[in-house]
Structure 1
Amino acid sequence: MATQQQATDEAEIRRHIDKLVEGLEKKDLEALRRLYAPDIVSFDVQPPLQHVGVDAKLANWTPVFTAFETVTYEVRDLTVTVGGDVAFAHGFGCLGGTLKDGTAIGGMWVRATHCLRKIGGTWLIAHDQVSVPLDVTTGAGVTDLQP
């Protein structure tokens, strides 16, 4: 059974993920910067294998924000587990929107895991991993699945 502190922390982390969605939809890199630990290690869908540091993490969003006129991001099935000053959350995310040329993009669902640390009383994302399933026979990512 969760303690009151765990329940409070879980609610804070869910708000944190909501702020992540809001920052993406507003294309606000500075709002996103405040959500990540300075030394974040990110295993994102874009090469290379890892992005180290908040500037490298934010650089992943620059091409998206440049290509899209409007951005939408949906999170589904978010599960949060808290233990002291560390926590993890996992679920599914879908990035979509409208490109600058007017093309509507419905989006692709990915699996996302966020590992958080409570630093100075604030939950920050210290590690994240975003992935798509892999077809082992072809080596291609499977991008048409939905939760």
Structure 2
Amino acid sequence: MTATQEHTEEIRRRLGSIAVALRAKDLDALREVYAADVVSFDVEPPLQHVGIEAKLRNWVRVFDTFATVDYELRDLTLTVDDRVAFGHAFGRLSGTLADGTAVPGMWVRGTFGLRRDGDRWVIAHDQVSVPLDVRTGAGITDLEP
């Protein structure tokens, strides 16, 4: 296996660990996935979340909203070299609210920028977006990949 293939597999495992950490509501595990200076363009305001603490606050809001959390990442495509990588995929956050209501979630588009930090890969930038109807400005949340 080439170094690039090894890095690609490591990044796939790293991104896959997000689902495991979310299901366990494990903030410490999520902290390990992101760079300390991560910049995140998430679906929730504000326009950007800068730094690991800001990114983790987004996940705390998810944990406060859901009694159980599930996360899927599919169709992940990566471009990797020795120091940096980028990728894109579709993601869906779903679960059960505290009142027992099942929430099927919606598919969003995700883009990841990663960098090598010592002996591990971390997400330095991520962006999540929802397609929108340009005429109304409303998000279109019923699309399937």
Coarse TM-score class (shorter-chain normalised) = over 0.9
What's the counterpart of residue 118 of structure 1? 116
Cα distance, 1:84 vs structure 2: 2.1
**Identity over the aligned pairs, expressed in percent?**
61
Q: Do the aligned partners of 2:42 and 2:48 also contact (CA within 8 Å) in 1?
A: yes
TM-score (norm 1): 0.96
Q: Which consecutive aligned stretches of 4+ in structure 1 deviate over 6 angstroms post-superposition?
A: none
Aligned residue runs from structure 1 range 104-143, under 5 A: 104-143=102-141
What's the counterpart of residue 41 of structure 2? 43
Match for residue 90 of structure 1 among 85, 88, 91: 88
TM-score (norm 2): 0.97
- Structure 2, unaligned stretches of length 5 or more? none
> For 2:2 and 2:9, how far apart are their aligned partners in 1?
11
How many residues are treated as equivalent by the alignment?
145
CA RMSD after TM alignment: 0.9
> For 1:127 and 1:63, how far apart are their aligned partners in 2?
20
Q: Do the aligned partners of 2:71 and 2:91 also contact (CA within 8 Å) in 1?
A: yes
> For 1:8 and 1:127, how far apart are their aligned partners in 2?
21
What's the counterpart of residue 5 of structure 2? 7
What's the counterpart of residue 62 of structure 2? 64
What's the counterpart of residue 76 of structure 2? 78
- Structure 1, unaligned stretches of length 5 or more? none
Q: Do the aligned partners of 2:67 and 2:98 also contact (CA within 8 Å) in 1?
A: yes
Provide the secondary structure at the position in 1 that maps to 2:105: strand
Match for residue 17 of structure 1 among 6, 15, 19: 15
Q: Do the aligned partners of 2:7 and 2:82 also contact (CA within 8 Å) in 1?
A: no
Higher strand proportion: 1
Match for residue 31 of structure 1 among 15, 29, 32: 29
